Amino acid sequence: MNWLLERAKSKYKVTFVTVVPSPYQRDLFQALAGREEVDLSIHYMERSSPDSPWPEKSLRPFEKIMPGLWVPLGNARAHINWRMPRISQAQILVLSSFTSVTGQWLMRRKLIGAPWLFWGERLRQNSGIKHVAQGVLAAPIATASGVVGIGRAAEQDYHRRFPKLPHFNIPYHCDVSEFLKIHRPQASKPVTFLFCGQMILRKGVDLLLIAFERLVAEGADVRLLLVGREAELPRLLNEISTTAKSRVSYEGFQPPENLPKYFGRGDIFILPSRHDGWGVVVNQALAAGMPIITSDAVGAGLDLVENGVNGMCVRANDVEALYAAMSTIVRDPEVITQWGKESRAKASNITPEAGADKWIRVFDRVLSTTGSGES
C-alpha cells in the first residue's frame, strides 16, 4: 500500500526503550501519548536507580518496567533485561542506552534491518581505555535510521562520530508550568545566586564557591543558595572563608514539586559544570525568568543561554571566567531584570508539547525515508 495513504489511515506505532522513569522524559512521553497520530509504548530498564533523586510515581497505561538486573560498569550501570518489546509490533523503536547489555543486544541482534533511532546526550570525552571502550560500545549506532541528539552539542558530537546518518536535535522538554507562575520582582540587595544539583566536582561546585568567596571579599552584597544532594559539600565549604560560608544557605535535596519555591528565592541561576550532557535545571531557570550563567560544558547552556541576552556561557573549569560573569551581573541590577525577561520569553520553546511536535516531524522524516509504513 502507498506509504502516504497508509500514513493518513493509521497511527505511528512508536516504542521507546530507556533506562528509568525520569520526570523530564515522562513529561515528553505524556505529551506524545496525547497526540492522535501516535500509538506509544514505553519500556524502562529499571523502576528507579539506587541513587535516584526522583520519588517513584505510578506508571501510566503506556509505560512498562522490564524485568531485569544491572551490574556495575565503572561509574555507570549495565542493565540486563528480559521480556522486552516485540520489535515487529513497532514501526519505529527509539533506544536511549548503548552501554547496557540490553541496548547492545537490541542493536547487535534485534534491530538489524529495522527502523530505529538512537536518542542520547553528548558523550563524555574520555581517553585511554575508556575512550576505546566507548567507541566499541557506541559502534552499533551506525546501523540506526538516525540519531536524535539531546541538544546542539550532542547532535554535533554524534554527527562527527556517525557522519552518514541523519541527525536531529531535540533537547529535553519538561513541564515547567509551575516555574512560569513564579512572580519575579525587581532585583534588590542582596543578590542571590541559585545552584541546583549534586554538590560534586563534576558540577563545578568548587569553582562556584571560589568565585563566590572572591565576590564576598570584594564587598559585594551577595548570597548563595544551594539546593541538591549534599555529596561533597561539607569538604568544599571547609575550603572557603568563614565570612563567605556565612552567606551560603544549603537547603538539601528537594523533590521536584518543591523546586519552584527555591527558584523563586534566587535572582541568578548558575551551573558551572565540568560536564553536563544536558541539565534540565536550566529549562526550569528559563521558565522561572532568571538570568543564567553556565559553562560551555553544559548542553542546555549551549542551546538555551544566549550571551548578553539572557545570560552568559563561560569556559568550563575556568574560575576567572566564572567570577567575571558573576561580577558583571551583580554590578548591573537592570541586567538581572532584563535578562530574566528574555529567559522567560524563550520558555515557550521547551514545553512537552513543543517536544512532541519535534518528535513527530522526526518520525515523518525517518519513516517516509525507510518506507516502514508500507503493508
pLDDT per residue as tens digits for the range 334-374: 899 999 999 999 998 899 999 999 999 999 999 988 765 44
First to last CA, the chain: 6
Domain 3-175+351-370 class in CATH: alpha beta
pLDDT interval class at 5 (50, 70, 90)? very low
Cα separation of 44 and 60, whole Å? 12
Domains 3-175+351-370 and 177-349 share a fold: yes
Which of 302, 293, 301, 303 lies closest to 268, judged by CA? 293
For residues 48 and 20, the answer to whether their CB atoms sit within 8 Å is yes
Three cell numbers written together for 315? 569556559
Q: Are 17 and 106 in contact (CB under 8 A)?
A: yes
Which pTM value belongs to this model?
0.90
Q: What does residue 230 show for φ and ψ, rounded to 5 degrees?
A: -65, -45
Whether residue 130 has pLDDT greater than 90: no
Tell me the per-residue pLDDT of 188-236, one tens digit each, with 9 for 90 and over: 789 999 999 999 999 999 999 999 999 999 999 999 999 999 999 999 9
- List C-alpha distances in Å: 193 to 83, 86, 196, 291, 307: 47, 48, 10, 10, 18
Question: How far apart (Å, rounded) are the C-alpha atoms in residues 239 and 205?
Answer: 12
Share of the chain residues as helix, strand and coil, in percent rounded to the nearest 5: 40, 20, 40
| Confidence (pLDDT) at 50 | 73
Cα(149)–Cα(151) distance, integer angstroms: 6
Residue pair 270/311 in contact (Cβ under 8 Å)? The answer is no
Neighbours of 36 (CB within 10 A): 6
Per-residue pLDDT reduced to its tens digit, 248-263: 999 999 988 999 999 9
The CATH superfamily label for domain 177-349 reads: Glycogen Phosphorylase B; (3.40.50.2000)
Q: Give the per-residue pLDDT at 49.
A: 78
Name residues whose C-beta falls within 8 Å of residue 219's C-beta, 6 or more positions apart in sequence. none
The whole-angstrom separation of Cα 336 and Cα 331 is: 10
| Amino acid occupying residue 30 | Q
The Cα–Cα gap between 202 and 273 comes to 6
Q: Where are the domains of the chain?
A: 3-175+351-370, 177-349
Residue 84 has pLDDT above 50, yes or no: yes
Average pLDDT, rounded, for the chain: 92
CB under 8 Å to 127, separation ≥6 — which residues?
A: none
Burial class (CB in 10 A: 0-12, 13-18, 19+), 143: middle
The tens digit of pLDDT for each residue in 258-297 reads: 999 999 999 999 999 999 999 999 999 999 999 999 999 9
**The total number of residues written for the chain in this structure:** 375
CA atoms within 13 A on the CB side of 9: 9
Residue type for 245, please? K
